[in-house]
Amino acid sequence: MKKTKILVTGGTGFLGAALVRKLVQLTLPVRILDNGFRSSATRLADVFDRIELIQGDIRDPSIVSEAIRGMDAVIHLAAVNGTEFFYSKPDLVLDVGVRGILNVIEGCKKHGVGELIVASSSEVYQTPKTIPSDETESLIVPDVLNPRYSYGGSKIITELLLIHQCRADFKRALLFRPHNVYGPAMGWEHVIPQLIVRAIDQNRAHPKGPLPFPIQGDGRQTRAFIHIDDMIDGIVLLLEKGEHLNIYHIGNPEETTVADLARQIVQYFGRECQLIHGALQKGSTERRCPNINKMKLLGFHPKIPLRLGLPPVIEWHITNRIQHNHLAGVSS
């Protein structure tokens, strides 16, 4: 790969840090812009001497412009992610999403940066009509009054802006829709870490017999999880081969029910799982699974099945459980 100078916004986040580490491995010059809203630069302590880090807010046009100056490409990941935030901070989710992409597009145009790769999300579909869903599935906001859709809505706006404002001035501007990425240190406000933390706590509280395990709904809802390493391979592939104004699913079409996921996690602790069904959060989706044929045509094949990817993530959470208590206090 030629020595492209790359700005990664949100570069100390879950995807960002893993991507930055990969770009450093590929010996590409990397700059990061992140305000540390949901991350810490210490994540990248091992590569500090090989990256440039700008601490700043994606909503500030002058900081974004400065960060883009001198770059060849921008990979825009900064966003307020984490399901709990969609419900508790919908105003912020939209502000960061919409101002962020506008500033990034503006900055690229100002400095003649012709390569822009932007993270959207599978949440743009809400309830997909076809499973597995390909990139032509309709994007919807089912209810503007439900704060849940602040995130999906911000990503739909992001997509519209990228497609229609980057048509002419960019050599290559494209979008990818990640589908449920997981891995160690992914942040706590997602289904996998929440189930793992619950399993740790329940295992401690109920040392004998089948483990009572509350879940949302009846556990028949499905998701398809992609391991962070496969996800990063997908983004790097897009950097090499992605096409102008195209949209790509990056995911692993291994569809898993929430009940099965809960059982796999509980089994890790050597316990039998007794599921306790609860209410579903308003706005949550029954099934989600990507069709990744478009990425496959570029040569993408996820390599890590959930059964192999999950145990190291559970181990990471066991080791870092105390940190979660601390963070939960800070963010609530």
Q: By the criterion CB under 6 A, which residues form the site for ligand NAD?
A: 10, 12-16, 34-39, 57-59, 77-81, 96, 119, 121-122, 178, 180-181, 187
With respect to ligand NAD, which residue has the nearer C-beta, 10 or 90? 10
- Smallest distance, Å, CB 312 to ligand NAD? 17
- Smallest distance, Å, CB 231 to ligand NAD? 8
- Cβ atoms of residues 270 and 211 within 8 Å: no
Q: Which residues contact 256 (CB under 8 A, 6 or more apart)?
A: 222, 223, 224, 225, 306
Q: Cα–Cα distance between 277 and 219 in angstroms, integer?
A: 7
- Smallest distance, Å, CB 258 to ligand NAD? 15
With respect to ligand NAD, which residue has the nearer C-beta, 39 or 252? 39
With respect to ligand NAD, which residue has the nearer C-beta, 34 or 159? 34
With respect to ligand NAD, which residue has the nearer C-beta, 173 or 211? 173
With respect to ligand NAD, which residue has the nearer C-beta, 228 or 259? 228
- Smallest distance, Å, CB 13 to ligand NAD? 2
- Smallest distance, Å, CB 112 to ligand NAD? 23
Which runs of consecutive H residues, i.e. helices, occur in the chain? 14-25, 61-68, 83-88, 90-111, 149-165, 191-205, 228-241, 258-268, 293-298, 306-319, 321-331
What does the block give as tokens for 307?
A: 């059964």
Closest CA to 314 of 179, 186, 180: 186
Residue, CB closest to ligand NAD: 13
Neighbours of 280 (CB within 10 A): 14
